């Protein structure tokens, strides 16, 4: 279509302009959610026990009266984004029947409540921290340069080194990962058969042990080992069938019937993943049918999944490009890794959320 002189050019240009603006300003959804969590809006609404009016919300937030209209604009955007919903107007009997809109939580906002076991607000705050967001500004220069990642370009060091040297953010990142890991309790409940027949399991890169603790409580007979860098597991106390071991997964991994890696391999390049997988293969001591690697990670499947799911996975892939040397992988890319590392076969057990459960067998 001739966008200058052709019939319908004005409508088409308007559509293209709207599409452009939507993409230019799409970060607004993220930052509005970040602000809402920063202010504690979801928790305020939840603790209020019923839909809350703008005046009530502004009062609890101690918002200056001059900013109440701006708070309305923020709430309007959160409603449009699906994180907040408007209810029927509330009637104030003490104000001569005055009606006012009220706000309530949606299912999406309930998953960022701080007092919920599965609350994901720490993950939101870790991903949208300025240390991460500012690295995006270095992406263009990074493509023309020689730095390992845009994060290195921006900060002069790798992401995990930054976490170590900036403990405040390091703790925030660990809390973000732990909040995501707490969802594993539901996954384990739905897929118990994956852990049946195992006597021991090593959680590689397991951090503070959130996932291993869930597994050890659900399967008391499984001896779980959390394996991570020495400074990560230092001073963490062992408990019953759960212990902590420090080390380097590129050198060796403690022996066990099964090796678990949740959201680990997407941090690393193909070559690095093959090295890690080979160390895992060496660590699997059971030669029988129960010896395996359990991988929880993203599998991109554009042909079969919903558009929004694929888009979220592609967003995550771009984030990996910004922060580390890894990426999110397709089924074919995962298969190549497994074969190149010397494994005989694998199966994708089930998807949940953005991630999938994958079992990989050495024999």
What is the β-pairing status of strands 223-228 and 242-246?
A: parallel
Tokens encoding 276: 């890690």
- Asked if 323 contacts 149 with a C-beta cutoff of 8 angstroms, the reply is yes
* DSSP conformational letter for 237: P
Sequence-ordered list of residues with C-beta below 8 angstroms from that of 198, at least 6 positions apart, any chain: 219, 222, 257, 258, 290
User: How far apart (Å, rounded) are the C-alpha atoms in residues 149 and 307?
Assistant: 28
User: How far apart (Å, rounded) are the C-alpha atoms in residues 143 and 115?
Assistant: 42
Q: Which of these is catalytic: 80, 155, 266, 345? A: 266
- Asked if 113 contacts 289 with a C-beta cutoff of 8 angstroms, the reply is no
Phi, psi of 238 (to 5 degrees): -70, 155
Residue 300 CB neighbour total at 10 angstroms:
22
The three-state secondary structure class of 338 is: helix
Query: Is 266 noted as a catalytic residue in this protein?
Result: yes
User: How far apart (Å, rounded) are the C-alpha atoms in residues 146 and 135?
Assistant: 15
Q: Show which residues are catalytic.
A: 266
């Amino acid at each position: 279509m001739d966008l200058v002189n052709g019939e319908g050019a004005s409508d088409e240009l308007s559509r293209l302009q709207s599409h452009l603006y939507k993409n230019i300003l799409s970060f607004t959804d993220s930052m509005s959610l970040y602000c809402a969590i920063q202010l504690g809006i979801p928790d305020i609404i939840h603790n209020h026990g019923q839909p809350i009016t703008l005046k009530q919300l502004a009062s609890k937030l101690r918002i200056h009266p001059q900013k109440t209209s701006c708070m309305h604009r923020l709430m309007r955007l959160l409603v449009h984004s699906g994180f907040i919903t408007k209810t029927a107007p509330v009637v104030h009997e003490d104000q001569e029947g005055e009606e006012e809109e009220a706000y309530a939580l949606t299912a999406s906002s309930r998953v960022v409540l701080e007092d919920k076991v599965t609350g994901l607000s720490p993950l939101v705050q870790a991903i949208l921290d300025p240390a991460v967001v500012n690295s995006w500004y270095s992406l263009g220069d990074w493509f023309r340069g020689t730095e390992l990642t845009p994060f290195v370009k921006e900060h002069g060091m790798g992401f995990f080194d930054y976490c170590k040297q900036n403990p405040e953010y390091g703790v925030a990142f660990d809390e973000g990962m732990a909040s995501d890991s707490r969802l594993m309790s539901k996954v384990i409940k739905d897929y118990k058969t994956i852990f049946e027949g195992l006597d021991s399991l090593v959680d590689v890169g397991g951090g503070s042990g959130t996932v291993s603790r869930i597994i050890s409580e659900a399967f008391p007979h499984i001896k779980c080992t959390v394996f991570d860098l020495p400074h990560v597991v230092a001073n963490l106390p062992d408990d019953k069938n759960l212990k902590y071991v420090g080390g380097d997964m590129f050198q060796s991994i403690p022996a066990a019937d099964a090796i678990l890696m949740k959201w680990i391999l997407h941090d690393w390049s193909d070559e690095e993943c093959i090295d890690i997988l080979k160390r895992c293969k060496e660590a699997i001591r059971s030669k029988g049918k129960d010896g395996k690697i359990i991988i929880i990670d993203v599998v991109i499947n554009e042909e079969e999944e919903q558009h929004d799911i694929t888009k979220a996975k592609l967003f995550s892939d771009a984030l990996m490009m910004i922060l580390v040397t890894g990426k999110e992988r397709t089924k074919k890319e995962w298969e190549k890794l497994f074969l190149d590392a010397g494994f005989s076969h694998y199966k994708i057990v089930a998807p949940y959320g953005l991630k999938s459960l994958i079992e990989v067998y050495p024999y």
